[in-house]
Structure 1
Amino acid sequence: MAEETPRRKRKKMSLDSYFSRYILVVFVFLSGISCTNYSTTASVQAPPTLISITSNGSSNFTIKVRAQNPEFIFQGYRLYTGISEKEVQNPTDLNLGTDCVLASSTIVQPVEYTFEIDPSTKDNATGVSCRFFATLTPGTYIAMRTLGLAVNLQNSSSSFKVSPSSNTLIVP
């Protein structure tokens, strides 16, 4: 029997490679079609950790926040204010806070954000990740929650899903 030539070996290897890729593609396609078990429960985002709040004068404040936002559904943060720690961590309506929507983040490791709280519409200061358009008074409490995008496949709607509450800080 004649020995295989290099040309014949290459042709055989390319056919083997082609068929193995083809089988893999068919397997993935069939698995995707036959999969009917998907979760209808919205993913829960991790709450941020408030590190500090400082006054910049005349109802303008800077907040340092440590947070981890690894999922593509991450949208930003919601700030809650109130007269007690209990009120800001357990509001009667989770939609009553002030939103700060960030660009999508692919960061997996915890990162430190700097936020401004200012009722004016001026541009963000250098190094500020986002601005909450709100007015704070000294002695009030603040807490934050992470916003995630929740999509309902049954009625093709979407909304924000909020994380559990962060710790609280007292406005100086």
Structure 2
Amino acid sequence: MILRKELISCVFLSVFALVFGCTNYSTTTSVQAPPTLVSITNNGNSNFTIKVRAQNPEFIFQGYRLYQAPTETLAQNPTDTNLGSDCLLAQAAIVQPIEYLFEVDPSTNPNTAGVSCRIFATLTPGSYISMRTLGLAVNLSNSTSSFRVSLPSNVLIVP
């Protein structure tokens, strides 16, 4: 009986120390690597396939955000980085240095075989696209979370 009480006390103190005494966390923002856009193909009917090379093995990795603009500069540096179209992979895929295929299509059709993710958007031929990696940002002081975006990828012109 005494051993059990000591064990319970030890567990309680350990949990208390972890919750209230943990100072081994970083307030520095983790930097996500931007993807590299390899190619874009027009599949017809407002459907495009984008080949992307990426490596984001970090725990906070969530997916990618696609930006479209009339100029190369605006595609890489939009006025609001929250206004792109998302492809959330979260823990659904192993995120290792490989090539991914993303399908960009405004319809709700299922993914084509071999496609990693569908981005529900309409691309305009002649416009420019870029992507950014999405990471999870958690604010410990008020228990909120949001997406943090990486630096921009290179730019491709929509065919």
> Normalised by the shorter chain, which TM-score bucket?
0.7 to 0.9
Secondary structure of 1:161 counterpart:
strand
Name structure 2 gaps, 5 residues minimum: 1-13
How many residues in Structure 1 have an aligned counterpart in Structure 2?
A: 146
User: Which AA in structure 1 matches 2:41?
Assistant: T
Quote the residue 1:59 is aligned against. Answer: 46
Quote the residue 2:139 is aligned against. Answer: 152
Quote the residue 1:11 is aligned against. Answer: none
Deviation at 1:107, TM superposition (A): 4.4
TM-score by length of 1: 0.78
In structure 1, how many angstroms separate the alpha carbons of the residues matched to 2:111 and 2:95? 25
User: Which AA in structure 2 matches 1:135?
Assistant: T
Picking from 111, 114, 121, the partner of 1:124 is: 111
Deviations, residues 131-165 of structure 1 (Å, cap 9, x unaligned)? 11111111000000000111110000000000000
Deviation at 1:54, TM superposition (A): 0.3
Deviation at 1:37, TM superposition (A): 4.3
Quote the residue 1:101 is aligned against. Answer: 88
In structure 1, how many angstroms separate the alpha carbons of the residues matched to 2:93 and 2:115? 18
Using the aligned pairs only, state the percent identity. Answer: 73
Q: 1:113 to 1:42 in 2, by over 3 A?
A: same
Q: 1:58 to 1:140 in 2, by over 3 A?
A: same
Bigger share in strand: 2
User: Which AA in structure 1 matches 2:132?
Assistant: R
Deviation at 1:77, TM superposition (A): 0.4
Deviation at 1:62, TM superposition (A): 0.2
Name structure 1 gaps, 5 residues minimum: 1-28
Q: Which has the larger radius of gyration?
A: 1
